Structure 1
């Protein structure tokens, strides 16, 4: 996912680094350019991010479904170690309805994957996501893209798969690198005060 104003400041760096290790890369935008970008019928802006995601997956389903087993959605400020991602996905079957990422648990019963960390849909998950909108089973119930997609995944019986490594550590990270590299100070705990009465006073 990218936009016209980010092609030179962000997206070109993806093209020159980790995108080279993908089987296929599509840069989704609101306009077509010779970068190249795919023009989606949606305006830029955070309030349109979920529609952009819907249109992107519909486009992929129509034109590229049989060119890959797994489909990674990442924003233009994301860095991916593709070799590690391939290793994580190697134990799963792309013909099963699965999606992976950094799982958050509020609001959706089975949780949802953080959009900031990027997430991966199996081929069957992609089919079901598009079917959800074609049949009306999924709706645009929220502008919060990752949560709304998670709701559709739950509706379409797409299960969240475990993306942690063999030591139980997260492999998808939604926050900037310094959040993980620099020790974070503990959050202050609220004070509790107990009043003890003496002699009935």
Structure 2
């Protein structure tokens, strides 16, 4: 998700870093350009973001449904590690109505996924999302994109997936790494922790070794995180075997469901 003003300051840096590690990337904007961007019939601005997201998923459904099993929505200031995302998805069936990301609790009975951290819809979840608006079961009744999508997911019977690793550490992060890995002094709990569906740990144990995303990442930080993720290695260090993020839960668990499907 991007806009005309962000192509040079943000989007080209996504394209130069993690975007190239995806199977298919589509850049959604209000204007069609040679970048390339897809021009959606919607105005720019935070108040139009949910309508823009609806149009983006409708475009993907019409043009890219058979290109992948899973569909990630990410902002132009989100850093993603696609290899870790594929690992998280590898034990799940894209034929089931599933979506995952950073699970927040308020406003929707089953919760919803943070928009900034990025969220993923299975192929069946994408079908149901588009069908919900075609049938009128889902409506554009809020300017808050991630809450609106979460309401539609609940209406259409799409289950939220627990994306934490087996150690209970989060893989999707709505803020940069320093919001989590630096141990904080006692303080009033910030809103983004009050929204959490699962317990949160601040400090070194906060985040999975297989972290998938961080949000509010500046252009220069895209390259820094790319270097730290793919190139920096401590000589002679023997990596411990971290908890596998894939979760094998029963079909009745609203967090996840097992399957043989994988990301493509």
User: What is the TM-score normalised by the length of structure 1?
Assistant: 0.92
Moved over 3 A (4+): none
1:40-82 per-position Cα deviation (integer Å, ceiling 9, x unaligned): 0000000000000000000000111111100000000000011
Aligned to 2:14: 14
Give how far 1:186 is off.
1.8
Between 1 and 2, higher relative CO (CA 8 Å, sep ≥ 6) is seen in 2
**Alignment RMSD:** 1.0
Matched residues in 2 for 1:83 and 1:166: separation?
18
Matches within 5 A, 1:69-148: 69-148=69-148
Matched residues in 1 for 2:184 and 2:117: separation?
19
Unaligned runs of 5+ in 1: 190-201
Aligned to 1:2: 2
Matched residues in 2 for 1:80 and 1:188: separation?
30
DSSP 3-state at the match of 1:64: helix
Matched residues in 1 for 2:182 and 2:19: separation?
27
Give how far 1:90 is off.
0.2
Matched residues in 1 for 2:186 and 2:78: separation?
27
User: What is the TM-score normalised by the length of structure 2?
Assistant: 0.70
DSSP 3-state at the match of 1:121: strand
Aligned to 1:52: 52
Aligned to 1:165: 165
Matched residues in 1 for 2:51 and 2:184: separation?
35
Matched residues in 2 for 1:179 and 1:143: separation?
26
Give how far 1:188 is off.
4.7
Aligned to 1:194: none
Give how far 1:180 is off.
1.6
DSSP 3-state at the match of 1:99: strand
Unaligned runs of 5+ in 2: 190-264
- Matched positions, count: 189
Aligned to 1:68: 68
Larger Cα Rg: Structure 1 or Structure 2?
A: 1
1:149-177 per-position Cα deviation (integer Å, ceiling 9, x unaligned): 00000000000011001211010000122
1:7-56 per-position Cα deviation (integer Å, ceiling 9, x unaligned): 11111111011111111000000001111000000000000000000000
DSSP 3-state at the match of 1:72: strand
